[in-house]
Structure 1
């Protein structure tokens, strides 16, 4: 089994295991080099926990791999709430984004959703994403967190890649939620380092409160389950302008054993490779391999 398992994020439905590994591996290797740990792992020892095809509509081969979504396809409830949160975060980190009015929620009208999507299209973070891709990402996050069948299938894909030799799990974006839950479901695993990058795990109500297993406690004392034993070191890296990683510091939700750090990823704030090439990411991975 692989020594390092990588778990991708949202928007990868037209990719595959080998394709993603060909992109992640050079960046991961560069991060190890920055950390002075080049050579600790070889490409054959790296695997990808791939679940993106679960979100690919059967028999539809569109240019961007997504159905032709419009603002009218953003559903009430979870999808509107997450879109509103992204809009608020983008406005706070990007002066070019008009801030939403009111309490941060979206009225149940297509016009308010269109306003949110229009504002995000002018942001640095979402500038290269088509509208239908943004809506598709919303639907992927909602599907994982509200559809138990999808959740178990995605989680199972990742669990299947984690074996006795696996020492490091690196997980990006929505994949950090999948990987976290997979490790919680494997209490006897030997993983020594969990590295979450661009993670939405800290978003209360929408993500954190929906985790499996459910967080324990109440109010400010609510805490998520630790995803391993005493040997596990968990490092969370969040880009300063990463809208998906709304909550940068996960320690208040998972305890002081968790380590959180802020990175400067430039205009590619949420890109997985921007995280992987950073020295702090390389050090976190190296610690699990040493």
Structure 2
């Protein structure tokens, strides 16, 4: 069975296990080479835990693809708050993006979603992404956290992929939330290394406080459950310009054992393959397989 399990992120509903494996495999091998561990893994060592189809609308004749979402489909509350948080993060890392307050936009302001989407369309991470796809990605995060049946099915896909032979789990974007919850749900698993890439796990209230199992609030930083035993090494990588990974350092909430690092993915701040080719990702993977 595969020693490495990959867990994809948002926006992959039209792909599948095999297509994602073909994207991830060469990038992972490149990361291992950068780390000087090019022989640590073979092609048969990787399997993908795929859950994207759970978000794909049922097909029907004369229609295809994502629903034709517009700014009007961004719901008040969670979706609008997360969208504006993305906007603020983009403005913090890119001086060409006008921040929400400078644009006169607050969370409760009518038209806030439209202004946010317009601002983000010029940001390097979202550039070229159709508006409806941006809204669809937003809704994927919201639905995972609020639809118990879908949440359980997505976690089960990861649990089905993780066997007694699995030593490393690499999870990107929303997949890091799915993988974290799945590992927490299987005490005694033998995974040695958890590698999270572009993770939104540390976003307070919107993500962190909604995790299962629920974190504990002792008056200081909220403390979340460690997703394994003492043998587990968790490495989290985030690009400074990755707005999905709003909180770059997860240690205050998940413990000082977690290794947190900032990487540089260029114009592809949130891209999974950019993370996978980084030397630090390759090193964490090699250590988990050693």
For these two proteins, the number of residue pairs brought into alignment is 289
| Mapping 1:81-120, distance limit 5 Å | 81-101=81-101, 105-107=106-108, 109=110, 111-120=111-120
Corresponding position of 1:125: 125
Q: Which residue of 2 aligns with 1:264?
A: 264
Q: Which residues of 2 match residues 124-203 of structure 1 at below 5 A?
A: 124-203=124-203
Q: Report the CA distance between 1:2 and its aligned residue.
A: 1.2
User: Is contact 1:81–1:105 with CA below 8 Å preserved after alignment?
Assistant: no
Matches of 2:61 and 2:92, distance apart in 1 = 36
Question: Which sections of structure 1, spanning at least 5 residues, go unmatched?
Answer: none
Give 1:222 deviation, angstroms. 2.1
Is residue 79–residue 142 contact of structure 2 (8 Å, CA) maintained in 1? Answer: yes
Tell me, in whole angstroms, the C-alpha distance in 2 between the residues paired with 1:62 and 1:165: 45
C-alpha RMSD of the superposition: 1.6
TM alignment of 1:2-151, pairs within 5 A: 2-60=2-60, 65-101=65-101, 105-107=106-108, 109=110, 111-151=111-151
Report the 3-state secondary structure (helix = DSSP H, G, I; strand = E; otherwise coil) of the residue aligned with 1:195: strand
Q: Aligned partners of 1:257, 1:174: CA distance in 2, in Å?
A: 22
Does the 8 A contact of 1:33 with 1:282 survive in 2?
Answer: yes
> What whole-Å deviation, never above 9, does each CA across 1:225-252 have from its counterpart, x for those lacking one?
0000011000000011000000000000
CA distance in 1 between partners of 2:218 and 2:105 (Å)? 24
Deviation at 1:106, TM superposition (A): 2.0
Give distance in 1, aligned partners of 2:159 and 2:64. 29
- Alpha-carbon distance in structure 2 between the residues aligned to 1:33 and 1:63: 44
Structure 2's unaligned 5+ residue stretches are none
Q: Please state how far the C-alpha of 1:122 moved relative to its aligned partner.
A: 1.0
* C-alpha distance 37-122 of structure 1, shift in aligned 2 (>3 A): same
Change in 2 beyond 3 A, CA 1:288/1:105: farther
CA distance in 1, matches of 2:286, 2:106: 42
The TM-score normalised by the length of structure 1 is 0.96
> TM (normalized to structure 2)?
0.96
Secondary structure at 2:220 match in 1? helix
